[in-house]
Amino acid sequence: MTSAVRHLTEAGFLGKFYIDGEWRKPTGLATAIVVNPAIEQPVAEIALGDDEDVDCAVVAARKAFTGWSRKPAAERAALLDRVHGLLLDRLELFAQAITCEMGAAITYARRAQVPLAAEHIRVARDNLATYPFIATRGSTAIMREAIGVCGLITPWNWPLYQITAKVAPALAAGCTVVLKPSELSPLSALLFAKVMDDAGCPPGVFNLVNGTGPVVGTGLASHPQVDMISITGSTRAGVLVAQAAAPTVKRVAQELGGKSPNIILPDADLSRAVPLGVAAAFRNLGQSCSAPTRMLVSRSQMAKVEILAAAAASELVVGDPLAESTTHGPIANPPQFERIQAMIGIGLEEGAKLVIGGPGRPNDLQVGFYARPTIFSNVNRDMRIAQEEIFGPVLSIIPYDTVDGAVEIANDTVYGLGAHVQGTDIETMQAVAGQIRSGQVHLNYPDWDPNAPFGGYKRSGNGREYGREGMEEYLETKAVLGFYR
């Protein structure tokens, strides 16, 4: 038993929800088992909510909304500041929870999963301090006001990061929230609820109800007293949530699937562009919606790129996520492991060239949902491995003949979440970036920017997260004419 599970067990939180400032038992008896993907063994049992639990949390959030939304911005920022500090103080506890619940290497959990999650809190706090909630347009006042009660649905792949990316801007805007984390990775969410409680969050401002998508997710989406839903998940899940929300005409913000391209321009430094492209594609073992899993390469450079890509992938250390030498742990859960294995098989059937990896576990790993980092080359743009989101360590190298052709291939997908462009001529890269239909474009692997808005075109969703735009998703616009005389 890890220290995180022991902490939650001893506190009695595994079988409870956090509603109206209290840890409460669920109304029903449904539970779910949390499985450690590294050992394929149960490590915890959590309660699952029902419609009555959802209603209880929504009522608490609605009751708290008026008071919280009228708090001075400085008071809301002060709460976020306390949350930020506590989260960093408990970094190791959160890292262990994330490693236990979804298999992230402990080194990666410590340096990325938790610190980047904390950054969303800091950014929301800082943006709140300077945001103009009232602006002047002639004699009219343009007011930005909290939209109301928000249902937040988060995924299993970045469990804490996605929570803070939604909770922090929503609270900064003056909204109250009901969080439904993934039932597959709920441990870090329960620890976060404890942070909110210890930070002195007013009752009802933050609420947590564990549960499944069809029950708790749909319950939040269809609830008439919920003003907005923000979901991060698969495109299929996003569609179902939008359908459930439609009768109540609530706002729905969706951050969904992706099949992001990485265009390696002919003048790029391949010795840098290719290894970093492999690392980006396999970040979090490819379990990231914006992972650049399509590498577009000039046809004349394919042979060299294959060699560089294989060398980069061979340096990855897949194994026990608690080992300091491990760079990549197991796939987070059995369904995702099976999906990855199936798609690798499809790539072979479609005739793609296997550069490295392939089906099955790494040879020395017999237990755990471990997948082999896999690279295909000579991938045709129409192949399923080039079109479908695999959500695992599978990279497709696709040849192009002209830069215009590369842009066409990059846009030839139903998704539009992220994209990368590598080269040496900044004007060319900027021009290519302007033609790609996606919510973000990264030029030459820049540092992550928590203030850069993130979201999708097409079936990758709508709305934006992160930074100022992320907070504005939780605001309504009111015009008061004749306000100024």
pLDDT of the chain, 485 residues: tens digit per residue: 688 888 888 888 999 999 999 999 999 999 999 999 999 999 999 999 999 999 999 999 999 999 999 999 999 999 999 999 999 999 999 999 999 999 999 999 999 999 999 999 999 999 999 999 999 999 999 999 999 999 999 999 999 999 999 999 999 999 999 999 999 999 999 999 999 999 999 999 999 999 999 999 999 999 999 999 999 999 999 999 999 999 999 999 999 999 999 999 999 999 999 999 999 999 999 999 999 999 999 999 999 999 999 999 999 999 999 999 999 999 999 999 999 999 999 999 999 999 999 999 998 899 999 999 999 999 999 999 999 999 999 999 999 999 999 999 999 999 999 999 999 999 999 999 999 999 999 999 999 999 999 999 999 999 999 999 999 999 999 999 999 98
**Nearest alpha carbon to residue 279 among 307, 304, 305, 316:** 316
Both 272 and 199 in one domain: the answer is: no
Q: Do 82 and 202 lie in a common domain?
A: yes
Specify if 433 maps to a domain: yes
Is 409 inside a domain boundary? yes
- For residue 274, the one-letter residue type is V
300 and 215 both lie in a single domain:
no
- Do 95 and 240 lie in a common domain? yes
Q: Note whether 351 and 367 are same-domain residues.
A: yes
Q: Are residues 249 and 371 in the same domain?
A: no
**142 and 290, same structural domain?**
no
Shared domain for 82 and 135, answered yes or no, is yes
Other C-beta atoms within 10 Å of 84: how many? 22
Q: Are residues 251 and 177 in the same domain?
A: yes
Residue 187 lies in a domain: yes
Model confidence, pTM: 0.97
Task: Give how many domains the chain has, as a whole number.
Answer: 2
- Is 456 domain-assigned? no
Range of the domain at 156: 3-256+461-480
CATH number for the domain spanning 177: value is 3.40.605.10
Starting at the edge strand found earlier in the chain, the sheet holding 261-264 runs 353-356, 374-377, 394-400, 294-298, 261-264, 420-422, 442-443
Q: Domain holding 347: CATH number?
A: 3.40.309.10
Q: Is 455 contained in some domain?
A: no
Show the CA angle centred on residue 222, arms to residues 192 and 178, nearest 5°: 15
- Asked if 110 and 82 sit in the same domain, the reply is yes
Provide the pairing of β-strand 206-208 with 176-180: parallel
- 340 and 375 belong to one structural domain: yes
The label of the residue with tokens 């343009």 reads 142
Beta-ladder partners of 297: 264, 399
Determine, yes or no, domain membership for 215: yes
State the catalytic residues: 255, 289
- Tokens 């899993």 -> residue: 293
Same domain, 237 and 313: no
Domain annotation covers residue 400: yes
Is residue 240 one of the residues assigned to a domain? Answer: yes
Residue 94 token pair = 């959160």
